[in-house]
Amino acid sequence: MKKPWSGRFTHKTSGIVESFTESISFDKRLWKHDIRGSIAHAKMLAKQGIIPAKDADAIVKGLLEISAEIESGKFRFRQELEDIHMNIEAELARKIGPAGKKLHTARSRNDQVALDIRLYLREETEDIISKILQFQKTLLLIAENHIDTIMPGYTHLQRAQPVLLSHHLLAYMEMIERDKSRFADSLKRLNVLPLGACALAGTTLPSDRTFVARELGFKTVSANSIDTVSDRDFAVEFLSCACICIMHLSRLAEELVLWSTEEFRFIEISDEFTTGSSIMPQKKNPDVAELIRGKTGRVYGNLMSLLTLMKGLPLSYNRDMQEDKIPLFDTVDTLKICLEIINAMFPGITFNKKRMSATAGEGYSTATDIAEYLVRKGVPFREAHEITGRIVLHCIKKNIGLHELDLKELKAFSQAISKDIFPCLEPAASVRERSSYGGTSPSQVIKQIRRYKKILS
C-alpha cells in the first residue's frame, strides 16, 4: 500500500521497519478521539473556504460510517498503515474518493496525535475524578458508621495514641481529596487545543483554530507551534498525579494487609476479595490489596519511562514520542481498576471493634494524656514529659498498665497528681478530650464528616 510520503522515496519500506515503527497495535484505542478531531477539522476547512462544503459533508459522513464500523468490530486495522490516523484516513479515501484526501489539509500527524491524546486524557481524567468521588463516598459512609470505634494510632508502626477509626479513615479522605484536586487542576493545562500547529511551523492556509477549539470544547488554543508538537508536559503531569494517587491507595492497601493478619486481627476482608492457598487449606490471603500495592510500582515506572523518553529530545517532534502512549494507557487502565476494586472491596470489610478497642489501651498509649494532665496542673511540659516517662518505666518493670497504678504510686512521681488523673488513663476519655481542630475527638470527627458531606454533594 502506498505511503503518504511515497512521492519522495524510490524504495518501499522494509517489512521489518513496518513492524518496528507501527503503533496501530496500541494507538487504535484513540479512534473515537481521532474521528472527533477530524470531523471538527473538516468543518473548519469548509467554513474557511479551504475545501468545498460538499467535500466536508462527504468527509463527515464517511468518518461517521468508519466510526460505526470500528464500534461494531467490522473495521480492519492495517499494520502497514502504521497508526490510527493513517488507518482512518486511508479508509476514508477508499470510501469517498478524492474528497477524503483533502482532510489532512492544514494539519500534520504531529499536531493530530497531540490532539487525540489530549482528548483521550481529558475524558479519562474526568472519569478518574468520578471514581475518586465514588470511593470518597464509600469511605465517608464507613467513617460515619464507626464514630464510636476506638483503635490504636501508630507512629513508626509502634502503638502511639488512641484514635477513632473514623478519624483514621478520614486521613485517607484528605489524601484522595488532594488527588482529586490535582487531577482537576491538571485539566486546566490539558484542555488546550494543539490542532493547527501542523508539523511544527503552522500553515499558510487561513485556518481557524479558535473555531476548532470551540467545536471540541477546549478552553484555549496553544500559543507556540513548536512547543505544541513537542510538548508532553500534560502527559507527564497526568502520570505524576496518578503516581501520587496510587501511592495513597497503596498505603491504604498496606494497612488492610497488616490489619487482616492474625497479629493485628483488626479486620476481615470479604471472601469475594481474597484468595486461598494451593497447598495450605487454612489460608485466606489479601491478594487484592497486595496487588494494588504491587501495581503502584508499575505506575511509578510509567512516569519514569515518559520522563526518560522526553529528557533528551531536541525541538520539535521526534518519533521517540510515539512511545508515550503505552505507559500512558497502562497507567489509565491500572489506576482506574485499582480505584474500582478498592471501592468495591471496602463495604465488605468487617472491623473487629472489640479487638481494636482493647489494643488501643495497650502499649501505654495514654502516656501523653498524663503529660498534658500535668501541664494543666502547672508543670512545664518538658518536666511533665520526664515524669511521665518515669511512670511508664515503672509500669514496664512491674509489667502492669497505666490504669493499674493507684494514686499513691502516681503521687510518688509528682505531688501535682490527684485522683482526677484516672479518667486520663482510659482510651475513650483520651479520644474524647482531643478536641483541637482536626483532632480525633468525636466532636471534631463529626465536624469533618459534615464538611465532607458538603464537599461531596
Query: Which residues, at least 6 apart from 298, have a Cβ–Cβ distance to it below 8 Å?
Result: 330, 334
365 with 159: CB under 8 angstroms? yes
Largest CA distance in the chain: 101
Q: Does 207 qualify as catalytic in the annotation?
A: no
How many other CB atoms are there within 10 angstroms of residue 263's CB atom? 8
How far, in Å, CA of 143 to CA of 165, rounded?
Answer: 7
Kind and range of the H or E element at 216? helix 209-216
The C-alpha cell that represents 280 in the structure block: 495450605
How far, in Å, CA of 176 to CA of 162, rounded?
Answer: 24
18 with 82: CB under 8 angstroms? yes
Q: Which residue shows C-alpha cell 510515539?
A: 322
196 with 106: CB under 8 angstroms? yes
Which among 156, 278, 436, 457 is annotated as catalytic? 156
Q: Does 277 qualify as catalytic in the annotation?
A: yes
Q: Tell how strand 350-351 and strand 267-268 pair up.
A: antiparallel
DSSP symbol at 202: -
How far, in Å, CA of 85 to CA of 70, rounded?
Answer: 13
Which among 181, 277, 418, 443 is annotated as catalytic? 277
Active-site residue set:
156, 277
